[in-house]
Chains A and B, each alone.
Chain A
Amino acid sequence: MAKLIVMNGVGFGYPGQTPILSTVNFEINEGDRISILGPNGSGKSTMALLIAGLLAPTSGEISGFINRPSVGIVFQNSRHQMVGSTVEDDLAFGLSLMNLTTDDLQKRVAYFLSEFKLASKRHYNINQLSGGELRRLALASVLITEPRILILDEPLAMLDKEAQSIFLNCLKANVHPETALIWFDHEVRSIRHTERWMVLSKQGRLNPVSLNDLDSRLFLKSHSLTPAPLQWLEWEFPGRISGAIFGPERITFD
């Protein structure tokens, strides 16, 4: 699989302040499904912006930076990334920046409206949408431009169960297998949807992490990560329970 972005010893900080990120070594390949776990203030947004090429590192280098692949970001607060005042307009915004005829533009918009179950809300003002619909719209408006890297920042936050499953379904159905997906979150249970896991520490270091680490109460506490709701069961009854991270469906009792 082709390498999309390679970060070598990358650091970022403002002069006179403690660096936000330091010595980050990270590779993104086509088709990756990566989780980056970290608490607020660990530099998640900075990482996202560095990957997208919207920030330049203050130390180290990022290859693929000049001819960088297209990156789409779904921000934590979906409302903050809406440009159009209606559903249709926002979807069209990303496309309007590509060289498409009005006809093609309209066709793509219609396709994505139906794929993301927003067709009936086509002319709705974005202030009339529920949280789940807004998040879906953000995802759609980012995917409509076919980015090679998709970054999600706590995409399931604030959504109820139904909205979460619709979002995840739309994600599975519409992300190209060769697109790299990077999921930032502070909740450990978000690893359920990815394959490779990394942790961003409060000092701004990025390191791969194993399931053993994520099962350890001490590890989670020292990295300020939010345990999955059932993990305390594993800690209360050591040796008797495993798989709590993956939820009630995959938990096993020994």
Chain B
Amino acid sequence: MDRRGLHLIEVKSLSYIYNRGGPYQTLALDDLSFSIKQGEIIGVIGPSGSGKSCLLRCLAGILTPLSGTVLFDGQESYLPKIGLIIQEPEVQFFNETVYQEIAFALENQGLTRVEIDETVRLALKKTGYKGKTSQSPFCLSGGEQRRIAIACILALDPQILLLDEPTVGLDFDGLEMLSQIIKGFRSENKTMLIVSHDLDFLYNQVDRYLVLDKGRLVIDFTKKEFETKIEFLTKMGLAIPEILELKRRGIPEDLSNLEQIGMTV
């Protein structure tokens, strides 16, 4: 069924409080409302402590919101496959081989050995892993570990992928790998939410931005509208992608159609 255009995710008045009832009670999400269509790739940005991680966890069903609802495809009870990749996901490793690490989630789903083999192979292909599956995940370099950790979640074949600060600890090769994965997801018309502080990276990956501050959704704008939001974002202390800052200062006429040219990464 062609789901393009339908609201895949609808968030209505979502609120969440950490440590409810205790002395360290904090309002993490405050009456958030927005909708997302299938196939959208969205950047969630905002100062630290603005509730971005909390939002991802509520969407993934890890945290139960205090109030408000999250509807998928218009229904409250339908929960599509959602993958959440936490910050520095390599900490979750505990298996002896790469194969076992990825197969773990699949075994919990009760797939047959044949199905698991195939899914593991596919997940590794999607992340561009070229090593052996018998390799220990702990002996891999940081970038490779990130690749495997992402493969662990991609193996679940999620319709919606939530990424929490995926650029942390990655160097250029790692960022290229991440970029490929995002492109792959986009080509499959799947939906993604990416929390990141690195706006230069997001600028080339993302169509729309949700800006959170102290748990509230302050603005919701598309890539095209970015230039009009620069003042606002600067006031919040967020870094503007350098390309936009350059445009603000002025570029010669013949170079002004920069939107057509994307970065190599």
Direct A–B contact in complex, judged by CB atoms less than 8 Å apart: yes
Shortest beta-carbon distance from B7 to chain A in Å: 31
**Can you name the residue of chain B whose Cβ is closest to the Cβ of A241?**
B255
Within 8 Å CB of A55, what residues of B?
none
Q: Are A229 and B255 in contact (CB under 8 A)?
A: no
* B residues with CB within 8 A of A: 47-49, 141-143, 165, 168-175, 197, 200, 234, 237-243, 245-246, 248-249, 251-252, 255, 258, 261, 263-264
Within 8 Å CB of B168, what residues of A?
157-158
Residue in B142, B251, B264 whose Cβ sees the most chain A Cβ within 10 Å:
B264
CA distance A28 to B59 in the complex (A): 51
Shortest beta-carbon distance from B17 to chain A in Å: 17
Within 8 Å CB of B49, what residues of A?
130
CA distance A162 to B48 in the complex (A): 12
A236 contacts chain B at the CB level, 8 A cutoff: yes
Those 5 A-B pairs whose CB atoms lie nearest each other, nearest first:
A162-B237, A161-B239, A226-B172, A229-B242, A186-B171
CA distance A41 to B145 in the complex (A): 13
CA distance A251 to B248 in the complex (A): 13
Q: Say which size band chain A's interface belongs to.
A: 35 or more
Mostly, the B contact residues are loop
A248 contacts chain B at the CB level, 8 A cutoff: yes
Q: Are A226 and B171 in contact (CB under 8 A)?
A: yes
Within the complex, which residue of A40, A160, A236 is in contact with B261, where a contact is CB–CB below 8 Å? A236
Q: Are B171 and A40 in contact (CB under 8 A)?
A: yes
Within 8 Å CB of A220, what residues of B?
172
Q: Are A237 and B173 in contact (CB under 8 A)?
A: no
**Can you name the residue of chain A whose Cβ is closest to the Cβ of B240?**
A161
Q: Are A160 and B239 in contact (CB under 8 A)?
A: yes
Q: Are B249 and A229 in contact (CB under 8 A)?
A: no
Within the complex, which residue of A131, A233, A248, A251 is in contact with B48, where a contact is CB–CB below 8 Å? A131
Contact string against B for A residues 215-254, beta-carbon threshold 8 Å, 1 for contact and 0 otherwise: 0010010001111111011011100110000011001010
CA distance A157 to B87 in the complex (A): 14
**Can you name the residue of chain B whose Cβ is closest to the Cβ of A133?**
B48
Within 8 Å CB of B142, what residues of A?
40-41
Given contacts A236-B261, A248-B246, A248-B249, 14 further A-B contacts (CB under 8 A): A40-B142, A40-B170, A40-B171, A158-B168, A160-B47, A160-B238, A220-B172, A224-B172, A226-B171, A229-B200, A229-B242, A241-B255, A248-B245, A248-B248
**Can you name the residue of chain B whose Cβ is closest to the Cβ of A235?**
B264
